Structure 1
C-alpha cells in the first residue's frame, strides 16, 4: 500500500479552516489530526499552504473522440490536474456524438487508459434515442445531457414530445444547455438585415444569443422538471434574470432543480469583447457586467449551486476566423481555480465558498460516492495551493493542446503547488507525475 503524509496544512473544508496533518493510505484519507507521527512513503511539508478538496468540474469538452486536433482526454486532464481539478464530467458532443451505450462505453475505456484525473461521461440525448438513454446505468454514469439549444451533429433536442418523454422517464439527473433556438435565429436574421452579415462581430454575440433566448429555454426546462419531478441541473447560467428561477431555501440534498455558473461568466463581461474578441465567444454568451455580478450574487446566496468551466478548446486558427465562422468555447480547466482564488483576493468570495461550490456541492448534486470532501474514509482528492505566489499565464506554462488561454497575460496571486488524485500525487511543484491517476467516478443512486 502507498502512503502520503501531509504535515501542517491549513485545511479548508465544510465551511471551516483549521491546521492539521493528514494521512493518505492506499488512495483513502485514513486520518486527519493535529499531529500525526507515522512514517509514510511520501511526506509533504504544507506549512503556509492551504489544502482544499480537489475541484470537480461537471462540464468539460475534452474533444475525444473525433476532434482531437483541439484536445484529448490525456492532454486536457493533464491541464485540469495542474489547475487543481481532480475529477471531471465530459460532454457527449464529440464525433460521433455519444448517443448509444456502446459509444459511451468506448469513452470510458479511453478515460481508463489516458486520464490523469477522475472521470465520468454524460450520455447524450437526441430527438430519437430515448430507448438508449433509458438503458444508462445510474450508478456508473454522471447524467444525461440535453442540448435545448444548438450543438454539434444530431444533439439539438427541439421536439416537444421528446422533451416531455425525457423529463418524464429519465432515470437520473438531466443536465441541460438552455438557449431558445427560434429566438437566436430571429435575432441573427435581424442583425444580418440591419448591418449585413459581413459586418457582424463578436460584440453582437450577446445580442444574438440574448437574455430572452436563455430565459425562455431555462424557464421551459424548469417547468418541465416541476411537472415531472425530474432531477434537473441547468448548466452555465449566463443572465441575472435566470438566477431567479432557482431556490435558496431548500437544502441542497433535497433540491430537484439545481444550477451551475461558469468561471468565464463570473470573470468577463461584454466590455471584454473589445480586447479578447472571439477568444471569449462562448455559448451561452458572456453578457453584461450586471449579469456577471448577478450570477455571482446567486452563487453566494445559494440559488446557484456549483461553479464549473465548460472547458471547450478550439485551435487558434479556428478562433481567428470571422465572427460567423469562429466556433464558440474556450479552454479553462488549468486556470479556473486560480481565477476563483483571485476573486477571493478581491474580497468577492471566501475560500470556504470556493471549496463548497467547486467540490462539496458538485459531489452532493451528482451523488458522487466518497469524493468532494476532506473526510476520513473518503478518496484522497485534494489540492495544495499557495495563496501568495504570483505568476503570469503565458504560452510557456499553458498545458492545453490548443496552447492558448483567454487569461494569457493575467497575473494570478495564487498557485497550485500539489494535486492529489485518488491518493496519488499527480502534480508536484509545477511538474506532472505521468501516471494514470484517474479513477472512474461512481454514484450513490
Structure 2
C-alpha cells in the first residue's frame, strides 16, 4: 500500500509567533517538508490550494467531558470527537467523572479501548483522584496518561477530595501533573441556602455567580497553590473564572519551567453575567460565568502569560436536563465545535492575535503536558492541521450543530471564520461540514 502524500500550497502558516506563506508536504502521518515552494514528486499527491487561508496546528483541548461510559445519552466519544475536529480540535484530554469513574487502571483501559475504536481526534485521559485511591494513582504510567484530575469542589459521585491529609499525600506522592477544579464547597453551600430559602428551587439564574462566588473560587485556588508550593507538586488550575484569581499566577518563568499553571475556558472569555437573563441555564457552568470586569481581567492575564492555556471544558447535557429549574439544571455545556470560531471572533474584535490563540491552544498544551510531536507545524511532527477561512461567515443553527445533545450556547451567533479542513495525523478527517469514514486518530503519548 502506497503511503498517503498530501501537499498544502500557499498557506499562511501560523506557528511560534509568526505568519508566513509556505507549502507543507505531508507524507503518511508526518510533516516532512515546509518551504516557500514545494513541487509534487508524482501524480499520487493530494494537493490543497490554501491561498488566502491560514493553517494552524490543531488545538489540543486539555479539558473535555465526552460522557462515555455511562452518560452516553448526553454524548459519547464518537459524537463529541467528530464535533471537536469540526471545531479545529485535533487532540483532547478527557476527564474522569464518567460512570463508572476513571479511578482504577482497569476503568482507564476501558476508556482507551473505546477511544481506539471510535474517536475521530487524538485522545488521552485524566486519571481521577479520590479520598481512597492513592495506591491506584501510584500505578499510572506517565507516558500514557495526561495527568491526574482532582475535584476540590463541584464533584460527581465520590470524587470530591476533601480530606486534607489525603490531599497532601497525593500531592507528595506523584510526579504526574495535577489538574484541579477549585471551588470551596462550604462557601457555595452557605450561599445556596440563602437563595433557596428565598426562592425555593427556582432561583433566578443570574444569582449563579453569586452562589458560586468569587470568594468560593479564590479560597480553593489559593489553598491548592499553597499546598503545591509546600509539597513541590506540579499544579495546573483548570477554568480560572475570576480576576482576583489571576493574581495568584506568575509570568516570571517560561512555561516549561513553571510548577504552577492556569487555564481559562472560552465561555469565561465570551459571556458575562449580563447574558444570564437571555441565555439562562445554557450558560450555567461551574465555575460560573462572572462579571464583565472578570472577563476583561482573564483576557489580560491570558495575554500577559499569567494564564497559560485556553480550553473548552466541553460538558454536554440534554436539552431536557438544562431546561429544569436552577437547582435541578446541571452545570456545563457543549463547546468543542465552536471553540476555534469563537476565538477567531475575538481576533476579529481585536481582543487577541491569531499567533497568541495558537500559542495558548496548541503550543502551550503540548509544552505543559509534554505531548510528543504535536502542537506545532514543524518538520518531523504529526500533521495535525486546521485550515481556516477568516472571511467565510456562518451562523450556528440547529441543523449544523454536531453535538449529540443538539444544542449550543452559541445558537444564533454568526461567526466570521470557519474551519474548512481538518487533518488528523496526515489524514483529511473533515471538510466543510463533511466527515470521512476513515479514523486517523491515535492515542497521545507523553515525553516524560
> Is the TM-score greater than 0.5?
yes
Deviates more, 1:182-191 or 1:256-265: 182-191
Structure 1 CA distance, aligned partners of 2:434 and 2:326? Answer: 37
Cα contact 1:97–1:154 (8 A) shared by 2: no
Shift of 1:87: 0.2
5+ residue gaps, structure 2, are none
Partner of 1:176: 180
Partner of 1:25: 27
Residue 385 of structure 1: SS of its match in structure 2? Answer: strand
Cα contact 1:112–1:440 (8 A) shared by 2: yes
Partner of 1:147: 151
Residue 225 of structure 1: SS of its match in structure 2? Answer: helix
Residue 276 of structure 1: SS of its match in structure 2? Answer: helix
Say if 2:307 is the partner of 1:304: yes
Shift of 1:41: 3.1
Deviates more, 1:384-393 or 1:31-40: 31-40
Match of 1:99 among 96, 103, 128: 103
Partner of 1:126: 130
Structure 2 CA distance, aligned partners of 1:409 and 1:264? Answer: 16
Shift of 1:435: 1.7
Partner of 1:389: 392
Structure 2 CA distance, aligned partners of 1:3 and 1:44? Answer: 11
The number of residues matched between the two structures is 444
Match of 2:46 among 39, 42, 47: 42
1:334-349 to 2 correspondences below 5 Å: 334-349=337-352
Cα contact 1:91–1:122 (8 A) shared by 2: yes
Shift of 1:429: 2.4
Partner of 2:271: 268
Partner of 2:5: 3
Deviates more, 1:403-412 or 1:434-443: 434-443
Structure 1 CA distance, aligned partners of 2:223 and 2:217? Answer: 10
Shift of 1:200: 1.1
5+ residue gaps, structure 1, are none
Structure 1 CA distance, aligned partners of 2:343 and 2:434? Answer: 22
Deviates more, 1:266-275 or 1:198-207: 198-207
TM-score (norm 1): 0.99
Match of 2:70 among 58, 66, 69: 66
Structure 2 CA distance, aligned partners of 1:426 and 1:320? Answer: 34
Runs ≥4 residues deviating over 6 A? none
Partner of 1:223: 226
1:352-367 to 2 correspondences below 5 Å: 352-367=355-370
TM-score (norm 2): 0.98
RMSD between superposed Cα atoms in Å = 0.7
Structure 1 CA distance, aligned partners of 2:201 and 2:11? Answer: 56
Residue 59 of structure 1: SS of its match in structure 2? Answer: strand
Shift of 1:199: 4.3
Structure 2 CA distance, aligned partners of 1:430 and 1:92? Answer: 30
Structure 1 CA distance, aligned partners of 2:386 and 2:74? Answer: 27
Residue 246 of structure 1: SS of its match in structure 2? Answer: coil
Shift of 1:430: 2.2
Cα contact 1:77–1:116 (8 A) shared by 2: yes
Partner of 1:162: 166
Cα contact 1:385–1:417 (8 A) shared by 2: yes
Say if 2:376 is the partner of 1:376: no
Partner of 1:329: 332
Structure 1 CA distance, aligned partners of 2:260 and 2:324? Answer: 38
Structure 2 CA distance, aligned partners of 1:250 and 1:428? Answer: 39
Cα contact 2:284–2:331 (8 A) shared by 1: yes
Deviations 1:399-431 (A, max 9, x none): 000010000000000000000011111001221
Shift of 1:152: 1.2
Residue 122 of structure 1: SS of its match in structure 2? Answer: strand
Cα contact 1:253–1:364 (8 A) shared by 2: yes
Residue 6 of structure 2: SS of its match in structure 1? Answer: strand
Partner of 1:255: 258
